[in-house]
Amino acid sequence: MKRRNFIELVSSSGCILAAGSLLPSSALAESIEKAGGPNVARARELKADVVVAGGGLGGFAAALASLRNGLTVILTEETDWIGGQISQQGVPPDEHQWIETHGAPQSYRDFRNGVRDYYRKYYPLTDEARARKNLNPGDGSVSRICHEPRVALAVMMDTLAPYMSSGKLTLLLEHKVTGADVTGDKVRALKALNRRSGNEVVLTAPYFVDATELGDLLPLTKTEFVTGTESKKETGELHAPEVGNPLNNQAFTMCYAIDYVKGENHVIDKPKEYAFWQSFVPKMTPSWSGKMLSLSYSNPRTLEPKALGFHPEGIKTEADLNLWNYRKLINKNNFQPGTYPGDITIVNWPQNDYVLGNIVGVSEKEFDKHVERAKQQSLSLLYWLQTEAPRPDGGQGWAGLRLRNDIMGTEDGLAKYPYVREARRIKALFTVLEEHVGAENRALVTGKKTGNSSADFYDSVGVGYYHIDLHPSSMGVNYVDFGSLPFQIPLGSLIPKRVENLLPANKNIGTTHITNGCYRLHPVEWSIGEAVGMLVAHSLKTNAIPRAVREDKQRLGEFQRVVRSQGVETQWPKS
C-alpha cells in the first residue's frame, strides 16, 4: 500500500488530530479533501526509534532493553494492563528450578525481587515471611514466586515511569494494531486503533516489534509465518505427527481468581451453558479421562486417567495434588492474622482448558465467539466447584468459594485476555527443532544414550528451560509432554527470512509446534524480548540490519558481548 494511501485510509474514519509532519502541505490538503473536507479530523502520527506492539512480558522486556540503550519507544497494548500472561491473563510464573540464581536475564530476576519488595513495603507480612529472602507470597507449588497480577503490574509500571516522564516512552493502552504500510521488505508504519475512543494513530519507526499474543503483525506486514502442527516429514521431529495440521493449536484458558470464606454462600448464578459443560467429555486422541468437570484428567506423560484433589483450605488431599495449592497467589499464613479470610488461588487447570475452537488467525467475530464459550466453561467449573464437587465429609460443593473480580480487574471476574499458549510463528532464518532441545530426540541425534546438553548455538543471545509441555489442542490431540534440556535462544530464530525491520518478541519466534512447548513460558518470553530490544538498539547504532548482525562473525561477536554485559547469559554453566 502506498504511504499516502495508507494515511488517507487512517484519516478517513475521522479521528484524533492533524499531524503536519505526516505529509507535505499539498498532500495533506489533498488527503483532507479526499477524506471529506477540512472539518474532518486527521489521524495523528507518532514517531520513535522502535514501535513495540503488545505489552506482554516479551513486549515489556523489548521496550525496557531499548529504553535502557538510549532509544525512544512506542509501546501499544490492546488491554488496559501491561504484563501479558503474568497480569492480564492471570498466570503466575512457570519457571525452572534454577531461576533464583541463573538461567534468565538479570532484569527478570530484578523484576521478581521487585515483586517481593512490593509485598515487604506495602503488605502486613508476618515477621517470618518478611525475613524470607526468596519470599513466595502465595506459596503456590507451580512457582517459586506466586503473586497477584496487580503487583506485577505495579512493579512493571514503576519501572517504566521514569521513561514515560522523560518522554522516552509513549505507552498506548487499549490500542490494537489494525493495519500496516509495507514497501518491499520493510515496514514503514502501523495503524493502531484506540479501542475506547475509536480514534486511530499512525506509528512510524525504523524498527517494529511484534510482541502481540497471537502474532497479529505477521499477516498485516506480509511477514511469512506458520501455524499449528508440522508433520514429521517437514521437521524430522521424534514426536511430530505423520500429518501436520495448521489449525491444530494448543488450548487457551480463561483464568480467574477465587478465595474461600468458610460458612458463607457465594454461589454464582448458574451459567447459561452449564448443562453443556456439566456433561462435556472432550473428544481426544488418545481419549480423555472422562468428563472435563471432574477431579481427574489425563496424565500428561502417560495419558492414563489421573486423580486430582481439591480442598479450599489447603488441606492435603491424600496422594493427589490439591488443585487449590497449585497456583495459589496468597497464602494467608504469610500475612498478619485477620488480613485475609482465606487463601487466594488462580484457576488455570485442565478443567478449564478450552479445546472447542481455535483463536489463532481467525476473524474477530470467531475470536469473540470462542472466548465467550471459554468464559462459560470457566464459570461452569466454578459453579460445579461451588455446588457439586465432592467433599471429604461426603457432601457436595463449596459454597464459600468467592469469585474475586478485583484480583483480575474485570467486571465478570475472568482474566482480561485469554491465556494463550500458541501463536503464529515466523519463518525464521533458523528454526529450533526437537532434535536441538528434546532430551530423547537429542540423544538419538548425538548418539549418546541420554542427552545431557542441548544444541550449542553459535548465535545464542539467551537461555531458558522448561519441559516440552503441549496442552490438549483445538483439533482433539491430547497432551504431548516430555523432557527437554536447558537450552539457548538462537538469534536466527528471532529474525524473519525476508522482512528486514520486524522482529518477534512473544510466542511467534522460529520454533515448531513442539519446541514452542518449552519456549513459551514467562522467563523465556522475557529473554526473547530483551534480546530483541538490544538487537534493535545495536542495529541502529551500527547501521546494520539484524540479518547482517548475525551473518557477520565480527558483528555477531560484538553484539553478544553487549548482550552479556547487560546481564544476559548466553550459555548455561558447565556442569
Model confidence at 371: pLDDT above 60: yes
Q: Which amino acid is at 138?
A: G
* Beta strand ranges found along 195-312 (DSSP E): 200-204, 207-210, 225-226, 252-253, 256-260, 296-298, 305-307
pLDDT digits (tens, 9 = 90+) for 260-283: 999 999 999 999 999 999 999 999
- Give residue 403's Cα distance to chain centre: 23
DSSP 71-126: --EEEEESSS---GGGTTT--PPP--TTTTTSSS-HHHHHHHHHHHHHHHHHS-B-
Please, which residues bridge with residue 432 across strands?
511
pLDDT in tens, 58-117: 999 999 999 999 999 999 999 999 999 999 999 999 999 999 999 999 999 999 999 999
At residue 40, the pLDDT reads: 37
- Residue among 153, 375, 417, 146 nearest 268 (CA): 375
Q: What is the pLDDT of residue 574?
A: 83
DSSP 3-state helix, strand, coil percentages of the chain (rounded to 5)? 30, 20, 50
Q: Confidence class of residue 11 from pLDDT cuts 50, 70 and 90?
A: very low
What's the whole-model pTM score? 0.93
- Give the pLDDT confidence score for residue 4 in this predicted structure: 52
Listed residue (49, 101, 81, 111) closest to 539, CA to CA: 49
Q: Are 385 and 398 in contact (CB under 8 A)?
A: yes
pLDDT digits 0-9 by tens, 278-289: 999 999 999 999
Question: Using an 8 Å Cβ cutoff, are 224 and 426 in contact?
Answer: yes
The residue type found at 529 is G
Dihedral sign computed on CA atoms, order 326, 437, 247, 297:
negative
Which residue's C-alpha cell is 454462600? Answer: 265
Which positions ≥6 away from 368 have C-beta within 8 Å?
Answer: none
pLDDT (0 to 100) of residue 318: 86
pLDDT, residue 41, reads 47
pLDDT at 510 over 50: yes
* Per-residue pLDDT at 448: 82
